[in-house]
Structure 1
Amino acid sequence: MIIRQLRDTEEDAEAVDRIARTAFRDLDDRPQDDARTPADERRRIRGKARTRHLAVTDPEGCWIAEQDGEAVGAALSLRREGVWVLPLFVVLPAAQGRGVGRLLLERATAYGRGCLRGMLCASPSPAAARRYRRAGFTLHPAMRLTGQVDRERLLDPGDIPVHAGNPTHLHLLDSVDRRVRGAAHGPDHAFMLAHFEELLVADTLAGTGYCYRDGGEVQLVAATSKRIAVRLLREALSRVPVGTEASVSFLTAEQEWAVDVGLDLGLSLSTRGYLGLRGMRPPMPYVPNGGYL
């Protein structure tokens, strides 16, 4: 068994993608062997790009396990201003129970040594939940909103203007991050700007916030007040293309404002996975992105 640092290569990105799709196959509602729709293909391309992005920004936090020349597991982690994040931790089913996951997680968590806070989004896997809890994470059960947006329930936006964001807003985004979760996303914002369909920004005397949307998926919401967060989420959902299923994931009980918005617009609520936190309470108001938290 070899545990080595992830390389910024297409080969390593493909290997991580293959492991993730295989490992998560049983947890999803449909097979993951190949991309099925243009949206699925965009997710795969973005996932591989994220792998290479983190291999560059956080090489000491990204590891891959190989057995007889075949990649069997991977752990991607990042460190931003005192917050350690684990965006991906996967092991092939055939390699589980052999200590591969333990070794990978040890390398990844060592990269976060000295960070007072930690974040991760966990799948519904009981084994993953057990491992994260033993690593010291408080597991907050998460909810997910899905469905078609009821356009007839979209109300007048009111007096909070929302406009498209761009690279000139990076300092504003990082400022909101520090207020809400205690650390900026830094270089990850440039990546998200390049790979998500749109960034929405609200900047008023009453507060500031932002939201990323990609197709029907609301990827991340952060704001300095619930009122701003509600306005951004409603605007993002209003922009989901007609006929496309909307989704908002990893909502904890603290994010009832988001649950209320989704239910008001006709989305359905279910439970799925956990938001794992160490040394911190759930950021609020905040909807995390599983790839960057």
Structure 2
Amino acid sequence: MDSVQVRPMHEDDLASTERASAVTFFEADQSTRRVSEPEPEPRSAAASKQWIERMRFFLNVDPEGCWVAFDEDADGGRTVGFAISQNRDDLWFLATYGVLPGHQGLGIGKRLMGAALAHADGRPGIFSSSVHPGATRRYRMAGFSLHPQMRMVGTVDRSTLPVVDGLREGRPDDFEWMDRLDQDLRVAGHGPDHGYMHDTLRLVVHRDPARPGYTYLDDKGQASLLAAAHPETARKLLWEALASSRGDTLVNCITAPNEWAIDVGLAARLDIGQEGYIAVRGMPVPAPYLASGHFL
């Protein structure tokens, strides 16, 4: 498509890119929904605003990793694809990537991924992948290993909650040791991402120098990211997340090396299912670790 230009993202692309993301992932959720699952819902206005603010953060921190496919001829010009990636020291991660359904199969995704991978400049990489056949083929051909993920859903049986000790609310002065833990688990620290997540999520830490760990919890009490030096610490942090949950909850991005999370979820009477892949290149799958969808 001659009218589609793959170029660096600009600040004024954010709204159009959010709309493309919302449509792309809503249709993907509809096409992959299991019969037993509820119907997907369109992204809410609050979630759209949060998405834009998160992408603005990425654009400010590492703009060279942010790319859009822009169709000059579509409705006066609009985003039809996007690839938002970031470098953090020696690690590259893909925060989000997609092409509008009506523009798939035309080579746009390949061009976007090529631009994002060029930004990686040979760094080890990680991201969370859907099951879309075209996308997974592209990832594998780029040298990524695809590790199946599991997720656990349901309402926590509160009679199963154990007494958990050694945890406290996290603070910005924890970021230094958290980054050292990140380096041990995933090649590089989260760096500026910790500041953003701390401002938008609840941080709970286990400060024991021998077995440190942390987790960020969203407004539903769900673990958005969890990292620990030992499975026992990881279990404590996940139990805290489950204790904080309200109504149905979700534990996702569970890979085979993280069976400790499956054990906790089953003990809490959650149901297990499959969900996409963790894609890694030049690094092992992190453990004990539950990745964040956007911050990895």
CA contact under 8 A between 2:152 and 2:251: conserved in structure 1? Answer: yes
Give 1:54's aligned residue. 58
> What is the correspondence of 1:58-137 to structure 2 with a 5 Å cutoff?
58-67=62-71, 68=73, 69-115=77-123, 117-137=124-144
Give the secondary structure class of the aligned counterpart of 2:11: coil
1:32 CA displacement: 4.4
Q: Quick one: structure 1 residues 91 and 149, their matched pair in 2 at CA, closer, same or farther if it must change by over 3 Å?
A: same
Deviation at 1:232, TM superposition (A): 0.6
Offset, 1:42: 4.1
Query: What letter is aligned with 1:16?
Result: T
Which aligned pairs between 1:130-279 and structure 2 lie closer than 5 A? Answer: 130-157=137-164, 160-196=165-201, 198-214=202-218, 215-241=220-246, 244-279=247-282
RMSD: 1.4
SS in 1 for 2:287: coil
Query: Once the 2 structures are TM-superposed, how far is the Cα of residue 33 of structure 1 from its aligned partner?
Result: 3.7
Contact 1:3–1:64 (Cα < 8 Å) also in 2: yes
TM normalised by structure 1 equals 0.92
Alpha-carbon spacing, 1:216–1:203, altered in 2? closer, same or farther (3 Å): closer
Corresponding residue number in structure 2 for 1:38: none
Q: Distance in 1 between matches of 2:204 and 2:40?
A: 33
Q: Which amino acid aligns with 1:265?
A: A
How many residues are paired up? 280
Whether the 8 Å contact between 1:199 and 1:210 is mirrored in structure 2 is yes
Return 5+ residue gaps in structure 1 as ranges. 36-40
Are the aligned partners of 2:222 and 2:244 in contact in 1 as well (CA < 8 Å)? Answer: no
| Letter in structure 1 aligned against 2:64 | E
CA distance in 2, matches of 1:249, 1:27: 17
The corresponding residue for 2:6 is 3
Q: Deviations over 1:55-78 (max 9, x none)?
A: 111111100111122210000000
Q: Which amino acid aligns with 1:23?
A: T
Cα separation, 2, equivalents of 1:43 and 1:34: 6
Q: State the partner residue of 2:36.
A: none
> Per the alignment, do residues 131 and 258 of structure 1 end up closer, same or farther by CA in structure 2, a change over 3 Å counting?
same
CA contact (8 A) 1:87 1:291 kept: yes
Is the CA contact (8 Å cut-off) linking 1:200 and 1:236 kept in structure 2?
no
